[in-house]
Amino acid sequence: MLRHPPAFHSRRPPETIEERALTDLEQQLHGLSTPSGDRAGDRAGGPWWREAVVYQVYIRSFADGNGDGIGDIAGLRSRLTYLQELGVDAIWINPWYRSPMVDAGYDVEDYREIDPLFGSMADAEALIADCHALGIRVIVDLVPNHTSSRHAWFQAALAAAPGSPERARYWFRPGRGAEGELPPNDWRSRFGGSAWTRVTEADGSPGEWYLHLFAPEQPDLNWDHPEIAQEFLSILRFWLDRGVDGFRIDVAHGLVKDPALPDLGERAVREDEPGPPDTTDHPYWDRDELSDIYREWRRVADSYAGDRMFVAEAWVSDPHRLARYLDGDVLHTAFNFHFLDCAWAAPALRATIDETLAAHVRVHAPSTWVLSNHDVTRHRSRYGSRLAGALGDSGGLSEVDLALGERRARAAALLLLALPGSAYVYQGEELGLWEAPIPEQAIQDPEFARTGRTRDGCRVPMPWSGEVAPFGFSPAGSDVAAPWLPQPAEWASVSAEREAADADSMLALYRRALALRRSLRALGDGELSWALEAPEGVLAFTREPGFQLIVNLSEAPVPLPAGWRVLLASCELADGGTALPVDGAVWLEREL
Which partner in ligand NOJ, Ca ion, none is near 68 (CB below 5 to 8 A by kind)?
Ca ion
Region of 100 please: left (phi>0), alpha (psi -120 to 50) or beta: alpha
With CB under 5 A as the rule, give the number of residues binding Ca ion. 5
Q: Is residue 506 within a helix (H) or strand (E), and if so which, with residue range? A: helix 506-519
DSSP state of 202: T
Active-site position among 217, 313, 429, 447: 313
421 closest CA partner among 546, 323, 347: 323
C-alpha to C-alpha distance for 104 and 102, rounded to whole angstroms: 6
- Bridge-partner residues for 248, per DSSP? 141, 311
Q: Which residue number, 375 or 401, has a Cβ lying nearer to ligand NOJ?
A: 375
Closer of 26 and 250 to ligand NOJ (Cβ): 250
DSSP 442: G
If residue 542 lies in a helix (H) or strand (E), which one and from where to where?
strand 538-543
What does the radius of gyration of the chain's CA atoms come to, in whole angstroms? 24
* Identified binder of ligand NOJ from the candidate list 85, 250, 307, 429, rule CB under 6 A: 250
| Catalytic hit among 19, 51, 217, 250 | 250
Q: How far is the CB of 91 from Ca ion (least distance, A)?
A: 18
User: Taking CB within 5 to 8 Å according to partner kind, which of ligand NOJ, Ca ion, none is near residue 224?
Assistant: none
Interface of this chain with ligand NOJ, residues 375 to 404, rule: CB under 6 A: 375
Should residue 554 be labelled a site residue for Ca ion when binding is judged by CB under 5 A? Answer: no
| 68 lies in the binding site for Ca ion (CB under 5 A) | yes
70 binds Ca ion (CB under 5 A): yes
Using the Cα atoms of residue 553, residue 273, residue 353 and residue 420 in order, give the sign of their dihedral.
Answer: negative
Indicate which single residue of 64, 89, 103, 307 sits in contact with ligand NOJ (rule: CB under 6 A).
103
Nearest distance, CB of residue 448 and ligand NOJ, angstroms: 12
Output the CA torsion 266→268→270→274 (10° steps).
-160
Shortest distance (Å) from residue 313 CB to ligand NOJ: 6
* Binding-site member from 18, 39, 46, 66 for Ca ion (CB under 5 A): 66
When CB distances are held under 5 to 8 angstroms depending on the partner's kind, the choice from Ca ion, ligand NOJ, none that residue 411 binds is none
By CB under 5 A, is residue 64 in contact with Ca ion?
yes
Report the nearest approach of Ca ion to the CB of residue 133 (Å): 23
Q: Contact region for Ca ion (CB under 5 A) — 59-67, 168-176, 259-267, 298-306?
A: 59-67
Question: Which residue from 96, 111, 214, 471 is in contact with ligand NOJ, where contact means CB under 6 A?
Answer: 214
By the rule CB under 5 A, 115 interacts with Ca ion: no
H-helix or E-strand containing 97?
Answer: strand 97-98
Q: Applying CB under 6 A, which of residues 54, 73, 101, 251 lies at the interface with ligand NOJ?
A: 251
When CB distances are held under 5 to 8 angstroms depending on the partner's kind, the choice from ligand NOJ, Ca ion, none that residue 375 binds is: ligand NOJ
Q: By beta-carbon distance, which residue lies closest to ligand NOJ?
A: 106
The reply to whether 166 belongs to the active site is no
The two beta strands, 585-590 and 547-552, are: antiparallel
Which of the choices Ca ion, ligand NOJ, none does residue 217 contact, using the CB cut-off of 5 to 8 A by kind?
A: none
**497 assigned to active site:** no
- Residue 250 binding target from ligand NOJ, Ca ion, none, CB below 5 to 8 Å by type: ligand NOJ
Q: In the bound complex, what is the minimum distance in angstroms from residue 16's beta carbon to ligand NOJ?
A: 33
- By a kind-dependent CB cut-off of 5 to 8 A, residue 103 interacts, out of Ca ion, ligand NOJ, none, with ligand NOJ
Q: Closest approach of Cβ 290 to ligand NOJ, in Å?
A: 16
Give the C-alpha distances (Å, rounded to integers) separating 18 from 15, 85, 87, 503: 8, 7, 9, 14
Q: Where are the beta strands (DSSP E) in 292-389?
A: 309-312, 333-334, 368-370
Let me know if 437 is exposed, middle or buried by CB neighbors in 10 A (0-12, 13-18, 19+): middle
CA 134 – CA 139 distance, rounded (Å): 15
Stated as kind and residue range, the H or E segment containing 230 is helix 226-241
Q: Which residues pair with 539 in a beta bridge?
A: 551
337 is in the binding site of which of ligand NOJ, Ca ion, none (Cβ under 5 to 8 A by kind)? none
CB of 572 to ligand NOJ, least distance (A): 37
Torsion angles phi and psi, residue 398, rounded to 5: -65, -20
The pairing of strands 206-211 and 137-142 is: unpaired
Q: Which is nearer to Ca ion, 466 or 475 (CB)?
A: 475
Own/partner long-range contacts of 299-306 (Cβ < 8 Å, ≥24 apart) = 299/329, 300/233, 300/236, 300/237, 300/240, 301/236, 301/240, 301/246, 301/247, 304/240, 305/4, 306/4, 306/245
What is the binding site for ligand NOJ (CB under 6 A)?
103, 106, 143, 214, 250-251, 313, 374-375
What is the binding site for Ca ion (CB under 5 A)?
64, 66, 68, 70, 72
Q: Which residues are catalytic?
A: 250, 313
